[in-house]
Chain A
Amino acid sequence: MKLLKLCAAAILISGGSAQAEGKLSIYHWFEYMPQELLDKFAAEHGVEVTMDTYDSNEAMLASLKAGALGSYDVAVPGDYMVQIMAESGLLDTIAEGELSNMGNIEGQWVDVPFDTGRKHSIPYQWGSTSFSVNTDVYGGDINTTSIIFDPPEELRGKINVLDSQGEVILLANLHLGIPQCSTDRDQLRMLDELLQGAKQHWASFGSDIAKDVLVSGDAAAGMIYNGFSAKARLEGAPIKYAYPREGIIVWMDNVVLLKDAPNRSNALKFMDFLLEPENIAAVTNFARYSPGIMGVTDMLDEELRTAPESVPPADAPAGTFIAVCDEETQSVYDAIWTRLKK
């Protein structure tokens, strides 16, 4: 009997070590990766996959800085966070030719401002942020940022804005035509005055409530992420997602190769895996945003392919990413934000 147990243990151990040759450790947002896709990768490459999750870019950064670096192979930061992580020396460089599917990336996402030349990252999902308007309340032209900053009579006092400094200040910059991270004092004062003056028309600040206030009718217009707006529309809100001509905010989550990755070659295999249209389509159908990979469209759900929130009109402006400002400008933004909410 004892012998039998020993044998069983030996088999278990050998079985375990055979798998341990190939491991992959992922650090990812919560509810952003279908389990079936991980299983598929594990089966195809004989790799044991483990995944830990986080709920904000800042939480992920803090955790890596506090000692988790070296225990994960890949993470999925948002656009500006890729740049911050690269500047903090947390990312490894992907050498030319190490990813065979690099050519699948859509042209517009090959060279991005937060990672020029895609040295550290590949696209995961992207979307846009602007605002939606209840067309029962207001029937006029909605494709202008004036809806938020100088609203028509019908919408005054019925506007929700995201409780997020980065998005509100970028939209205000777009409204005024001021470059991001401008250090020009007159421009910064204009920005401050614009926000101070617009606040009287706003009913509330809130990010996670952005969809609910539009569905319930508490707000007749509200800043919102495109996927979130699509969900509000499907829940019955009579709203339309705007593509303001002054500009629209765009965001992208990216898979990055972490520095000191314990399984670097598997991490690269995983990135190649996610660059295949069939696989990233599974992520998109799960997460309901947009892939940055060519040849995916046919594999998406019908509803996703035709949603007005995901398919911008031909005359829609190009999107702008939130820029990473230096400390001096960021502290002026912080001051403007505090004055806005005092």
Chain B
Amino acid sequence: MAGIGGRSGESSSSAFAPIRAWLILPTWLIIGFFLVVPVGTMLVYSFLTKEFRGGVIWEFSLAAYDRFIFDRGLFGDEPPKLELTYITIFARSTIQAAAATLLCLIIGFPTAFYIATRPVSTRAIWLFLVTVPYWVNLLVRTVSMKFLIRESGPLNSFLQWTGAISEPLQIINTDFAVQLGLFYSYLPFMVLPIYASVERYDFALSEAAADLYATRWTILRKVLLPTVKPGIIAGCILVFVPSLGAFLAPDLLGGAKNFMIGSLIEEQFKGNAGNWPFGAAAAMILLSMVLVVLMIYARRQSGRSRE
């Protein structure tokens, strides 16, 4: 991610100057094919008229965006009010994603720090252990989580056996279960970038700060954190963005009672609703939200480097 790569290799690049365009071509083709074309299709579809039972009619229409913003009542003929349904759904997803990011950071940072400060010989084993669960399909892991936390599952049985609780805890089908699922799904995306940053941190800096009578807390705040910040930000983005569109954890652990952004969009294409332009519009709005967050970050970064 930004800031980690640095500007190495500028001198060697001149040797490739004559064929630079050809070397970059595959990248541009992939970006064009897998990013520009699909997103462009989505953008175009979001401005078309919906066809009943799926599909689009090639006539320009703002109906999809209108539906997102204005509430015209159950029958669509009341005076328009501000529509809160979709804002609620987007807010719910955003809060869940933000909470998952924070949780991942709180657990992930110490984990990454611990691994990075082990002897070089054992680091590989620790990293290996972090990634082992991710060799198993996400669906299988989410279902396993469901088995663990269900009312008659091992977690509740254990807590009841220890006497900590008398009645089983209702965890499954709650927002907390969704949170647990998101946190568990994306934790390594937080640990690995932070590990990469901390590993390169020169601990002589901490020693120098200590020699200058900085407290441990000050060293963490003023020396370590600013140095590894790019890794933390990369980790936050990698956890936040996929959490925002997740629907596996909400469906399986949350009981699919409330739409998340991902399931709302899915319903427009696979369910009875069959409103493709609205699905495309919701996806475009989600994409815009993510882009705004990334642009704010990019601007702040570039502003800082100019100082």
List B contacts of A203 (CB < 8 A): 173, 255
CA distance A166 to B274 in the complex (A): 13
Q: How far is the CB of A83 from chain B (nearest CB, A)?
A: 12
Question: Is the beta-carbon distance between B256 and A217 smaller than 8 angstroms?
Answer: no
State whether the Cβ of A98 lies closer than 8 Å to any Cβ in chain B: no
CA distance A334 to B151 in the complex (A): 33
State whether the Cβ of B14 lies closer than 8 Å to any Cβ in chain A: no
Question: Is the beta-carbon distance between A188 and B74 smaller than 8 angstroms?
Answer: yes
Question: Is the beta-carbon distance between B74 and A189 smaller than 8 angstroms?
Answer: yes
Question: Is the beta-carbon distance between B85 and A342 smaller than 8 angstroms?
Answer: yes
List A contacts of B258 (CB < 8 A): 341-342
**Which chain B residues (260-307) contact chain A, with CB distance < 8 Å?**
264, 267, 270-275
Question: Is the beta-carbon distance between A218 and B151 smaller than 8 angstroms?
Answer: yes
Which of the residues B85, B151, B275 comes within 8 Å of A339, measured between beta carbons? B85
Question: Is the beta-carbon distance between A337 and B257 smaller than 8 angstroms?
Answer: no
CA distance A341 to B75 in the complex (A): 18
State whether the Cβ of A2 lies closer than 8 Å to any Cβ in chain B: no
Question: Is the beta-carbon distance between A330 and B52 smaller than 8 angstroms?
Answer: yes
List A contacts of B256 (CB < 8 A): 163, 204-206, 341
Question: Is the beta-carbon distance between B88 and A342 smaller than 8 angstroms?
Answer: yes
State whether the Cβ of A336 lies closer than 8 Å to any Cβ in chain B: yes
CA distance A165 to B173 in the complex (A): 20
State whether the Cβ of B221 lies closer than 8 Å to any Cβ in chain A: no
CA distance A185 to B275 in the complex (A): 23
Q: How far is the CB of B157 from chain A (nearest CB, A)?
A: 13
Q: Is the interface of A mostly helix, strand, loop or mixed?
A: helix
State whether the Cβ of A111 lies closer than 8 Å to any Cβ in chain B: no
CA distance A209 to B248 in the complex (A): 13
Report how many residues on chain B are interfacial, defined by Cβ distance under 8 Å: 30
A58-B54, A203-B255, A341-B258 are known contacts. Are A334 and B273 too (CB-CB below 8 A)? Answer: yes
CA distance A65 to B267 in the complex (A): 20
Q: How far is the CB of B156 from chain A (nearest CB, A)?
A: 12
Which of the residues B76, B173, B255 comes within 8 Å of A331, measured between beta carbons? B76
CA distance A221 to B272 in the complex (A): 25
State whether the Cβ of B64 lies closer than 8 Å to any Cβ in chain A: no
**Which chain A residues (51-78) contact chain B, with CB distance < 8 Å?**
56, 58, 61-62, 65
Q: How far is the CB of B63 from chain A (nearest CB, A)?
A: 11
**Which chain A residues (35-62) contact chain B, with CB distance < 8 Å?**
56, 58, 61-62
List B contacts of A185 (CB < 8 A): 75
Q: Known A-B contacts: A185-B75, A203-B255, A209-B252. Give 17 more (CB < 8 A).
A: A58-B54, A58-B270, A166-B272, A192-B74, A199-B257, A204-B255, A217-B151, A218-B151, A218-B172, A330-B52, A331-B76, A333-B272, A338-B85, A338-B259, A341-B258, A341-B259, A342-B258
20 A-B pairs (CB sep. < 8 Å): A56-B270, A58-B270, A62-B54, A65-B55, A185-B75, A199-B257, A204-B173, A204-B255, A206-B255, A216-B150, A218-B151, A218-B172, A330-B272, A331-B76, A334-B272, A337-B272, A337-B273, A338-B273, A341-B256, A342-B89
Which 6 A-B residue pairs are closest in the complex by CB-CB distance?
A204-B255, A205-B256, A165-B272, A334-B273, A342-B85, A327-B52
